[in-house]
């Protein structure tokens, strides 16, 4: 078997188109959406990623404000910026970009992002709301996986789905979204025992561990669908996922590529979330 590659590019373009249309309508009513990205690092690949968000936002008709505090920013300075942006009516969406300076507590800061502006689902309140089925922004990466499954007509209701990784930004919220869609979800992590014990029975495997080559063909049953969230930079500078693509493609029926899979959809969803946030905020202003 040689797995079909599930490219995220067409879906990402469709989502960007929706964001562009929504941004245009809002701009016509005098409320052009604005996304603020708070950065406190000089890490080159992070700054490259932030610039790519800025470019994509501009192309979608969304204003993007980069608030760069530098790599020595204190937790107090970051907290003040997040509180100010949360209170500023002209800002609709806020992203706190990691990594943060050493000693700065991400957990303490993400709780300061107003939930209605939390377009990357970082505030624990957003995760809590997702857990009880209340409206909230899911982290864009988690939603990207679900959107890809929908786009390629991969059913999950009543099927066995294994999520490898239990972080608050990917594994946990994704598991909640899949549960909401009636999947039988198993979450694996570094202490859940041999992967194949779980993945061999899976119809769908989502791997989000940050370990290049962690998932191989021998972990899978023939025909499984694999979504690869991992992004790992190898010493030669190339970007690879968590799946060992060569062996997985021999066994799986479909696999998302890295790059060009989940990641491309994620950025598009950040824009769509910003437009959705702006629409909600402008509607609540009108209704008073
Ligand atoms: P993270 O916070 O480091 O969490 C990694 C998770 O994987 C943890 O739950 C960990 O288990 C588990 N894990 C690690 N090694 C494992 C192993 N050998 N077997 C089973 N589970 C293992 O990472 P993250 O923030 O969730 O990100 C995961 C990956 O997704 C990274 O490569 C990241 O770069 C990528 N990512 C991609 C996007 C995108 O848009 N494409 C967005 C966000 C993240 P424990 O909890 O037991 O430690």
Q: Which of 80, 64, 168 is nearest to 125 (CA)?
A: 168
In this predicted structure, the answer to whether residue 277 has a pLDDT above a threshold of 90 is: yes
CA 9 to chain centre: 15
In this predicted structure, the answer to whether residue 288 has a pLDDT above a threshold of 70 is: no
Q: Which of 59, 50, 122, 32 is nearest to 86 (CA)?
A: 122
Compute the distance from residue 242 Cα to the ligand 1 centre, in Å: 9
The edge-to-edge listing of strands for the beta sheet with 204-207 is 4-5, 254-255, 225-228, 204-207, 160-164, 184-188
Confidence of residue 26 (pLDDT cuts 50, 70, 90): very high
Q: Which of 274, 216, 283, 284 is nearest to 250 (CA)?
A: 216
How far is Cα 230 from Cα 68, in angstroms, rounded to an integer?
26
How far is Cα 204 from Cα 46, in angstroms, rounded to an integer?
30
Assign a CATH topology to domain 140-263: Rossmann fold (3.40.50)
Class of domain 30-113: alpha beta
Q: Does 166 carry a binding-site annotation?
A: yes
Q: How far is CA 110 from CA 101, 103, 106, 121, 179, in A?
A: 14, 15, 6, 9, 25
Assess contact for 159 and 183: CB atoms under 8 A. yes
pLDDT confidence of residue 283: 87
* Percent of the chain clearing pLDDT 90 (strictly above): 97
Closest atom of ligand 1 to 189 CA is 21
Region 1-26 average pLDDT = 96
203-258, pLDDT tens digit by residue? 999 999 999 999 999 999 999 999 999 999 999 999 999 999 999 999 999 999 99
Region 177-197 average pLDDT = 98
Q: Which of 159, 162, 169 is nearest to 110 (CA)?
A: 169
Assess contact for 273 and 120: CB atoms under 8 A. yes
* Residue ranges lining ligand 1, Cβ < 6 Å: 141, 164-167, 169-171, 188-191, 208-211, 214, 229-232, 262-263, 266
In this predicted structure, the answer to whether residue 286 has a pLDDT above a threshold of 80 is: no
Region 7-35 average pLDDT = 98
Region 101-120 average pLDDT = 97
Closest atom of ligand 1 to 266 CA is 40
* Percent of the chain clearing pLDDT 70 (strictly above): 99
Domain with CATH 3.40.50.10860 in the chain: 30-113
Domain with CATH 3.40.50.720 in the chain: 140-263
């Amino acid at each position: 078997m040689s797995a079909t590659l599930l490219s995220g590019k067409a879906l990402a373009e469709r989502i960007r188109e929706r964001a562009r249309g929504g941004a245009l309508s809002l701009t016509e009513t005098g409320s052009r959406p604005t996304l603020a990205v708070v950065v406190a690092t000089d890490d080159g690949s992070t700054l490259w990623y932030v610039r790519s968000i800025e470019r994509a936002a501009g192309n979608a008709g969304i204003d993007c404000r980069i608030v760069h505090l530098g790599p020595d920013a204190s937790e107090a300075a970051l907290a003040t910026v997040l509180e100010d942006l949360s209170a500023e009516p002209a800002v609709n969406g806020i992203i706190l970009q990691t990594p943060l300076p050493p000693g700065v507590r991400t957990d303490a800061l993400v709780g300061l992002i107003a939930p209605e502006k939390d377009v990357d689902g970082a505030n624990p309140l957003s995760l809590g709301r997702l857990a009880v089925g209340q409206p909230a922004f899911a982290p864009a990466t988690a939603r990207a996986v679900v959107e890809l499954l929908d786009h390629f007509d991969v059913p999950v209701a009543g099927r066995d789905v294994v999520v490898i990784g239990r972080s608050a930004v990917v594994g946990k919220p994704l598991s909640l979204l899949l549960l909401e869609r009636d999947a039988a979800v198993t979450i694996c992590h570094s202490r859940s025992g041999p992967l194949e014990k779980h993945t061999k029975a899976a119809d769908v495997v989502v791997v989000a561990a940050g370990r290049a080559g962690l998932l191989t063909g021998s972990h899978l049953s023939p025909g499984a669908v694999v979504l690869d969230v991992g992004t790992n930079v190898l010493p030669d500078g190339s970007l690879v996922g968590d799946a060992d693509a060569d062996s997985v493609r021999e066994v799986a029926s479909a696999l998302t590529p890295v790059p060009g899979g989940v990641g491309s959809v994620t950025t598009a969803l950040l824009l769509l979330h910003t437009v959705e946030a702006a629409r909600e905020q402008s509607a609540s202003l009108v209704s008073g």
